[in-house]
Amino acid sequence: MQTRKLAIALAAGIWAMGLAVGPQAAGAASRSGRPSQHVPHVYGEGVLFAFSGLDGKTSSTSPVVAGTVGDGIGLRFHLPQNPILRVFLPGGAAPRWQVVSNDLLVARVPRSDLPMVIGFVSHSVLVGRLPPGGHVALEGGDTSTVLLRNEVGDRTHFALAYDPDGAAAAAAAASVALRVSIKSLVEARLDFFAKVPKGPEGIRRGPATTLAKAFSVMKANLYAPEAPIMVRWTTPCRWPHQYMGLWNSAFHSLGLMHLDLELAKEALEAVFLCQGQDGFIPQRMGPGQMDENSHPPILGWAAWQVYALGKMRDHEFLKRSFDIAQKHTTWYMKKRRLGGEPPSRKALEYGDPFYFWKSAAESGAENSPRFDGGSDFAAIDLSSYLVNECRTLQTMAQRLGYRELAKTWGTRAERIAAAARKFLWHPERRFFFDRKPDGEWIDTWTYAGLLPIWSGLADDAQAAHVKKHLLSEKFWAPAGVATVARDDPKFKKDMWRGPVWININYLMIEGLRRRGWTNEADELRTRTLELIETWYRKTGTFSEFYDPDNETPAAELARKGSEVTATPTPVIPDFNWTAALYADLLLRPKP
């Protein structure tokens, strides 16, 4: 009975997407041996390999997630004892990769009429077929990870399964999986790429393939409903991030809306479900993950863009988004006001409204040098996020017919902006900086001082000066916007201490365009797209952040060096918002 249930579950995983294969996706396994431009096919170290919540059940508490190895062909699993599945081809033959996606590897091998295949059939089981003379081995792991092999003619078929209940359960699942049709598995997985957007008319091969990779990364980082999040939800990266992030999910929705508008709404709804009675939303959410920190307030801004792409038809989604974003923004204006909460009899924005982050992590930039001395200062980026969110809420309220609320949120935006223009603008340096209540400047030049261009916080004269700094060698780097000015003593190629982050590039593109500086916006958009395309072509991955000089591979950059932790983690490959924002930049029509 147990084996029969396993067989049904595996079959559901294979057939969930259907078998209709479009001509472009089918071309990935064509007789020519050339991969389709609409299927990702660049193999490199660290390519994320995981079963998607689009296809069936997943588990964030017991994930079977792997990354491709760079020394040969194989998968390194993030499981007990870190097992590695290694594939050896006859005579050391070099594979010609046709598909390298989140859940399917396909390669042509010399003198073999059928391609080599490795693919997931469920969240904890994968199968493969090797060419004649090829073999597979499992290095490391514990008894919960089982590899079974079966000879079919002159070829080896194999199945790898993991089950936390132990070897017997894993072996049963692997035994059932050995009977899976490899042909059907490949067709089912390729069907996803037949259905995703192919890009603008006349798109070149490089961007087309990179776009397919972007959708593959988004697919990999989707979880199926799992308590306490009973809708499909996203994660920054399936490893090491097994949780849902607040501002991460907002950015993810901007890519997902091009794949499936309802899925983009669901990714935001997953965050909405985690809001507390007082409006607080944790930075991290999921099974066993409910932080005390929050994240930048951008939910309303993201929801409005999803709503607008849907031609402003989903009134219920807009109302739900407005209610959630309004409560979250109100919570910030109460709980993160410098000097304490406003008196109950006073308006939220009375006096000089300045706001602080509880910690560097709450800002989203956890090792930024702005926080080297703590976080007890008026934060220019938080004022910018709040101004932008208040103005978004004003627009939402107008659309919903809430006239008085629209006026209230407009007034709040202007009062926060006016206070920041006066207190956080350095008149000699002509730039925005964080500042302590006693007037001491946090004088590190960072991306935070650029955000007033995007949020509309800066007045026209201030914005013109900030633009000059942005376009100077301080920030305007070959890869886009450096997160710390390159001539600042604290600049370092370590995470938020200097490297380029795609979400910051994205916000500055939008900010430049809002101001009417379309040539500069177009230039930054081009740099951002080409940056991602270039390094995908070289490494096969979408990085968490990039070298501003566009020289050093992201995997060789520091990530939270010794000033934060003695054991820094490697730069994360196949980062979700890099993929999502690439897709949005490429696909969304320019205003």
Identity (one letter) of the amino acid at 84? I
Q: Could you tell me if 177 and 161 are in contact, meaning their C-beta atoms sit under 8 angstroms apart?
A: yes
Q: What are 290-328's pLDDT values in tens digits? A: 888 999 999 999 999 999 999 999 999 999 999 999 999
What is the pLDDT at residue 590? Answer: 66
What pLDDT does 156 receive? 92
What is the crossing angle of helices 167-177 and 2-15, to 10°? 50
The stretches in the chain having pLDDT less than 70 are 1-34, 562-568, 590-591
CA 526/CA 533 separation, integer angstroms: 10
Q: Which amino acid is at 12?
A: A
> Are the C-beta atoms of residues 212 and 193 closer than 8 Å to each other?
yes
- At residue 44, what is the residue type? G
Alpha-carbon distance of 351 to 193, in angstroms, equals 54
> Residue 487 corresponds to which tokens in the numbers above?
């001539």
CB 117 within 8 Å of CB 126: no
pLDDT score for 565: 56
Distance of alpha carbon 81 from its chain centroid, rounded? Answer: 27
pLDDT at res. 3: 44
pLDDT digits 0-9 by tens, 67-78 = 999 999 999 999
Measure CA 275 to chain center: 21
Q: What is the model's pLDDT at position 591? A: 63
- β partners of residue 435: 378, 441
Counting Cβ atoms within 10 Å, is residue 256 exposed (0-12), middle (13-18) or buried (19+)? buried
Nearest Cα neighbor of 289 from 231, 227, 237 is 227
Beta bridge partners of 333: none
Element (H or E) spanning 386, and its range?
helix 380-400
User: What token pair was written down for 78?
Assistant: 């993030």
Across 476-490, b (16+ Cβ under 10 Å) vs e yields bbebbbbbbbbebeb
d(CA 591, CA 336): 34
CB 532 within 8 A of CB 539: no
**Domain locations in the chain?**
2-195, 226-305, 472-591
